[in-house]
Amino acid sequence: MVQIIDRRVGAEIEGDFVLFLIGMRINKPWKIGSWLPVAQAMPKMLAELARQPDLGLLHVRSHFGFPNVMAIQYWRSFDHLEAYARARDKVHLPAWQAFNKAVGSNGDVGIWHETYLVSPGRYEAIYNNMPRYGLGAAGDIVDAVGFRQEARQRVKAAIKASAEV
């Protein structure tokens, strides 16, 4: 059972990190041969990344809703993300090459991603009566007291701390 943290908490992570959103959209549901391999590839990648934390994935949460599927991923750095994407001995690159060969731009299934490089002081987070979630699962949980009570104070304190480093 998931542990609910029954107080207001925030999330912090040391240094820079990457927020990576990736998804697929089933445009032609009857073309199972086009979208099923795409849908099956992501769980294999996530399992590989979970087995090898040194690859840099800090946390992932998947969201399912027809016709879209999305994974919200937190990475230690862009270098980690890019190294995984290009690694010939990992699951991603062969899956990407197979997609381009089999589907390419024929319109059967859409794939997309967005990458955000986040610096200290450029984010804030708050959770109340929640389990560890999002950045709180990727980083550290801290009590939302003192300067952490309000969004503006959290960001201001983070900017100040990053300037001192």
- CATH number reported for the structural domain that contains residue 106 in this entry: 3.30.70.100
Q: For residue 18, what are its two tokens?
A: 């990457």
Q: How confident is the model at residue 158 (pLDDT cuts 50, 70, 90)?
A: confident
Residue 45, classed as helix, strand or coil, is helix
Neighbours of 45 (CB within 10 A): 20
Domain span including residue 148: 5-12+122-128+140-164
Number of independent structural domains in the chain? 2
Looking at the fold, whether 112 and 149 belong to one and the same domain comes out as no
| 10: β partners | 126, 142
Q: Is-contact 148 136, C-beta < 8 A?
A: no
When pLDDT is averaged across residues 88-98 and rounded to a whole number, the result is 95
Can you give the pLDDT at residue 56? 98
Looking at the fold, whether 111 and 144 belong to one and the same domain comes out as no
Alpha-carbon gap, residue 137 to 37, rounded angstroms:
29
Neighbours of 106 (CB within 10 A): 11
Q: Is-contact 141 13, C-beta < 8 A?
A: no
> Is residue 165 predicted with pLDDT exceeding 70?
no
Looking at the fold, whether 39 and 84 belong to one and the same domain comes out as yes
Alpha-carbon gap, residue 63 to 68, rounded angstroms:
8
Region for residue 55 given its phi and psi (left: phi exceeds 0; alpha: psi -120 to 50; beta: otherwise): alpha
Q: How confident is the model at residue 163 (pLDDT cuts 50, 70, 90)?
A: confident
Residue 63 CA to its chain's centroid (Å): 11
Looking at the fold, whether 70 and 40 belong to one and the same domain comes out as yes
* pTM attached to this predicted model: 0.90
111-124 residues labelled b (16+ CB within 10 A) or e (exposed): beeeeeeeebbebb
Looking at the fold, whether 76 and 146 belong to one and the same domain comes out as no
Looking at the fold, whether 51 and 108 belong to one and the same domain comes out as yes
Alpha-carbon gap, residue 35 to 37, rounded angstroms:
6
